[in-house]
A and B are shown apart, each in its own frame.
Chain A
Amino acid sequence: MEIPRHWRLKKERYGLVGEECPHCSFKIFPPRDVCPNCGGEAKEPYVFSGKGTVYSYTVMQDGPAGYEEAAPYTVALIQLDEGPIVTAQLTDLGEEPIEIGMPVEMVTRRIRSDGDERGMLVYGYKFRPRL
């Protein structure tokens, strides 16, 4: 069921909360224990705007357990306006073709089903074409 595992990531998943390095002001998402830019300790929370552009994407024809019913689904690398890249699914695409460079924004969606296990649904960030 992995409840603690998902619970402890609720700020990141629901609020796109990352970090700002107190030493060099580098913006970090996902959070890391050491700043990738200066090597200092990174632990100041920073709320990202949720705005970004598509850096790369792929359409998954089949999904692993918990994602089968979502298939086909689109996974992307999103370059956030503040700098970091985040991995997320794209959603609400409609008929619009996906392109690298396309502006997108964060929304909260169910990101994993419970399969047949009557277990926990996991919610988190996805990105949709910017409204």
Chain B
Amino acid sequence: MAEVVIAGIGQTPVGEHWDISLRTLAARAMQAARRDAGGIVPQALYIGSFLSSTVSHQANLGALLTGNAGLEGVEGITVEAAEASGAAAFNLAYMAVSSGLVDSALVVGVEKYTDVVGSRLDSAVAEMVDYDYEAVNGVTPAAQAGLVMQRYMYEYGVPRDAFAAFPMLAHANAVNNPNAMYRKALRREAYDSAPPVSDPLNMMDAAPYADGAAAVLLVRSDALPSDLAHPLVRVTGSSVVTDRLSLHDRANILAFEAAGVSVERACRQAGILPQDVDLFELWDGYSIYAVLSLEAACLAPRGEGCRPVQEGWCNLNGRLPILTMGGQKARGNPLGASGVYQVVEAAQQLRGEAGKNQIPGARRALVQTLGGPASTAVTHVLERWDEQK
């Protein structure tokens, strides 16, 4: 059976790029992924972007980004699923290549967050919540996370400081990631004294929004160039699952059902169990979401999702490393692009190209991106692939 193989990866540093436009950010990542894949011209381009229409006043990115990057005439469309936009675009590319519709597909996640400033940016990001019944009451994504965290602490009696382990791990891992926004360890005192955002959630529980673009070139194994210089990674599972958009419409706001089901489906496709992976690039847009993702994936019992991180088994040398290149918290969260960054980082680990953060012998990774409080959950399974001829 033909495999879907990651032939190329590319990323730009995450940060506030006042001098770089949406199209140029995207082009840099796209070019990098194509160079890494030996210059392949992809037959399709799937774009993940959340805010381009609102913040950059730019739609029709398929035409813009193909034309700007020398790919005129190539099929190109945008996928939107809030912060999971890039992850959903990857899912679409995987489907296109695995179905045989195309031999190769380029995925680019791009977010140009800093094209406007101030409270209008908060309104733009709040488009991912229910406008009629949440946003109109002043609810933002951070408010949703605060509501979830408050209820979690109440139901399980977990203290606020238990969550500190997540941003501290993310920051420790970002030190060695040249593309990370914050390459600096986080002191415990800095967490404890961080100002509240949406109490009980503080500034260090929230991943910073930023600009960035990342790209992945998927090729069917029988169409691969024979002379690629790097190890190969194949995609063995990919699943998109949705939940009810509003927290108030859910039977249990702590269940993160879509996150759990998407892990289950992606793992079933790959024929593995979640604990069979060497790393888990999970979603830490807010610390509490990382906690609930571990629980939804059955990697921690309900109410105990902080413990694996507090006890060190999610460190780089632990049983299940997570956020290995800094996660959203310290690499930065370029919203719709983040899901593609996560895939790129997992591919670096599986190729053995993660530098000082390399997990020895990593062969299989679980990658999960959430849009909102697991309103959309996208999970992939990636594996090192040595069987090429």
Query: Chain A residues in contact with chain B, CB under 8 A?
Result: 5, 9, 30, 32, 36, 55-68, 70, 73, 75-77, 84-89, 100, 111-112, 122, 124
Contacts and interface: CB of A to CB of B under 8 A. Distances in A.
B154 A77 contact: no
Given A57-B147, A58-B146, A58-B198, A63 B136 contact: no
Interface string B177-206: 000000000000000000111111100000
A56 B140 CA distance: 15
A100 B143 contact: no
A57 B150 contact: yes
A112 to B, nearest CB: 6
Contacts of B123: 64-66
A87 B133 contact: yes
Interface stretch (B243-251, B293-301, B303-311): B243-251
A111 B198 contact: no
A9 B137 CA distance: 13
A60 B140 contact: yes
Contacts of A89: 137-138
Given A64-B138, A87-B137, 18 more contacts: A56-B148, A58-B147, A58-B199, A58-B200, A59-B146, A59-B196, A59-B198, A60-B138, A62-B119, A63-B122, A64-B123, A75-B143, A77-B151, A77-B247, A77-B248, A87-B248, A111-B138, A112-B136
Contacts of B246: 30, 87
Contacts of B134: 87
B161 interface: no
Contacts of A65: 118-120, 122-123
Contacts of B148: 56
Most buried by A among B126, B136, B150: B136
Contacts of B120: 64-65
Most buried by B among A9, A30, A56, A61: A56
7 contacts: A59-B146, A61-B199, A70-B138, A85-B249, A87-B139, A89-B138, A111-B136
Given A58-B147, A68-B119, A85-B248, A77 B253 contact: yes
Contacts of A56: 147-148, 150-151, 154, 253
Contact of A63 (B119, B146, B199): B119
Interface of B: 118-120, 122-123, 126, 130, 132-140, 142-143, 146-151, 154, 195-201, 244, 246-249, 253
B247 A75 contact: no
Contacts of A100: 150-151, 154
Nearest to B151: A56
Contacts of B154: 56, 100
Given A66-B123, A86-B248, A124 B138 contact: no
Main secondary structure of the interface of A (DSSP, over half): strand
Contacts of A86: 133, 248
A59 B244 CA distance: 24
A63 B151 contact: no
Contact of B143 (A58, A68, A84, A124): A58
A9 B200 CA distance: 31
A59 B253 contact: no
The 9 A-B pairs of least Cβ separation, nearest first, read: A58-B146, A64-B122, A56-B151, A64-B123, A85-B248, A59-B199, A67-B138, A65-B119, A65-B123
A59 B140 CA distance: 12
A118 B200 CA distance: 34
A75 B201 CA distance: 13
Given A75-B137, A75-B139, A61 B151 contact: no
